Structure 1
């Protein structure tokens, strides 16, 4: 089969690889009908996430048709079922799964001993990501093996296009969880840093959850226009001061809730000293992440407020102003998304036409075009916001 394969920094190729097979009774095999390139895939592309190996199949946003089912999953799935595959692999039986904390499942990470040494406790296995999260083959491929498939799936109805349902596996529940973590009240201002696909979903989720106003912060006009169309007030940080503008919009109080939808590769104006410091630290392996957005959120957030962080971070951040967090009484909520905790509700929203997540799609192409589209997505060329690939 064809698959997009990681060969090193900025080197992803469309290769012929071995078809997946049932390895455990709880497995299923799907024929992938649609998959997508995610912003967090760029962290792998730039080699900022540790423990990638040449030959790893990438991709963690995918859906398709079940073509084979192991005996242990036969009660939940059958051949021909149409499913979205969440990026988090979970057993459904451990203590964390029973609590609904699927992204920290205690059983699905097959490199658990390795991850325990790095993180203290391993997280769940993730598709198409690093060997710290199990080293599972990803879904930017023609076929995918789904472990724990009796639990790790989202059944979806026929008659709704792939592009509308695909993002139930990651960016829609990720944006929703980011907003839910904010405990949004009707009097709240919610500021969202980053208007990529997750930021766009967080913006619309905050509006659906009843925020008084939502502010979108980015530098790309097409992203800011999309955010504004969704009901947000845009701030272009390349043209104006984020801090001054936020103070203007909140009568000097600052936003009650702040969402970091950027993560490890935050970009600021090259006039800002953080840009030089963070990039030098990262290049010299003194810090794994660029935390400018985190610093700015901590500084502007109203005392007693909440910082929600769906953006992916890989390890160590430099000059993290924890004294501000403590003295302002800020609450930080973060984590990989517990996808299936939210998907029943989100699927109903789609069916009731409260939201159509396909609004983020700007590019659709064949899987073979994936390597070129990684570069286009990275460089933000051709107004690229979200790429869907058709295996």
Structure 2
């Protein structure tokens, strides 16, 4: 089969690789009909995430048709149409029973490594480094899905791939980011980053009844899409984020702040951004936390910081004293995808939201390597890339 593979920093290739096979009775083999490039994939492309190996298959946002099922998998049958969450879940461990699916205690087959790095293992993830299991990803013609009897979202007839594909990652990620803010009708919600996750977060905050939603970015196409979704926008290259947020909140600051950027945040006017890039260049810091610092500073006392943006290692110069003294609550983590998908699928069916709005480019799989560069560099108005194997 054909698949997009990682061969090193900024080196993604479309190559022929062996077809997947059933390895465990709970497995299923999925013929991929649609997949996508996620912002988190760019962290691998740019070489900021440890644990990648030459030949690893990329991608964790995909869906398709079941073509083979293990003999202990009683919930799926050949021909079923499914979205596959990026978090692999056993559905049986203590964390899964609590709905904490992104920290499933069984699905990471490299638990010894994860235990050493994180203190305790987290869930296995598709196409996302050997710290999370080294599982082949979904930017491919076929994928083996471990624990497939639980790691799936079955899709009813009448919905297109494009409407439901993002149930596997960015839609529940944006939804969880907003839900964990416990939004009240009087709240202003400020969201840093208007990429695909930020766009879903904006619409989730609107659906959850925020009084005011503010999106912070610098890319005109992203800002226009955010405005269309109901947000007031701030272009951080053209105006001061601190001054504009103060103006929009009568000097009180937003009650809820969401980091939909993560480890590769950009800033054009700040000393701390130059500091982070210098430390990153000599490997004294792995991630650039400008957004975290800014959120701590502007958030209203007793407010909430929500962090769906991915961080991979060590960050520096975090004003933790300000966070503690202002009484800020932090909520963060990979997404508990299956906790949210029943509700979100119903909202799609009811017409409350059509997540396909975020798609700007649809191309064949073999154009994936060049689209990684287009997406990373935000060229050609690119916000979200969908691939058709």
Q: How does 1:218-297 map to 2 (within 5 A)?
A: 218-269=217-268, 271-297=269-295
SS at match of 2:251: coil
1:86 aligns with 2:78: no
SS at match of 1:280: helix
SS at match of 2:7: strand
Give distance in 2, aligned partners of 1:283 and 1:7: 21
Per-residue CA deviation, residues 236-293 of structure 1 (Å, 9 max, x unaligned), is 0000000000000000000000000000000111x32122101111111111100000
Give distance in 2, aligned partners of 1:296 and 1:276: 15
Q: How does 1:146-157 map to 2 (within 5 A)?
A: 146-157=145-156
Give distance in 2, aligned partners of 1:346 and 1:55: 34
- The CA deviation at 1:78 is 0.1
Moved more, 278-287 or 355-364: 278-287
- Unpaired runs of 5+ residues, structure 1, are none
Give distance in 2, aligned partners of 1:83 and 1:16: 24
For normalisation by structure 2, the TM-score amounts to: 1.00
1:185 aligns with 2:169: no
Q: Kindly report structure 1 stretches of 4+ aligned residues shifted beyond 4 Å.
A: none
- The CA deviation at 1:158 is 2.0
SS at match of 2:122: coil
How many residues are treated as equivalent by the alignment? Answer: 389
Per-residue CA deviation, residues 64-107 of structure 1 (Å, 9 max, x unaligned), is 0000000111x100000000000000000000000000000000
Give the alignment's Cα RMSD to 1 decimal.
0.4
For normalisation by structure 1, the TM-score amounts to: 0.99
Give distance in 2, aligned partners of 1:345 and 1:51: 34
1:380 aligns with 2:373: no
1:326 aligns with 2:313: no
Per-residue CA deviation, residues 141-171 of structure 1 (Å, 9 max, x unaligned), is 0000000000000000122111110000000
Moved more, 49-58 or 271-280: 271-280
Give distance in 2, aligned partners of 1:279 and 1:163: 37
Q: How does 1:1-391 map to 2 (within 5 A)?
A: 1-73=1-73, 75-269=74-268, 271-391=269-389
Give distance in 1, aligned partners of 2:278 and 2:295: 22
Give distance in 2, aligned partners of 1:314 and 1:12: 20
Per-residue CA deviation, residues 294-344 of structure 1 (Å, 9 max, x unaligned), is 000000000000000000000110101110110000000000000000000
Give distance in 2, aligned partners of 1:287 and 1:331: 25
Per-residue CA deviation, residues 32-85 of structure 1 (Å, 9 max, x unaligned), is 000000000000001101010000001000000000000111x10000000000
SS at match of 2:198: helix
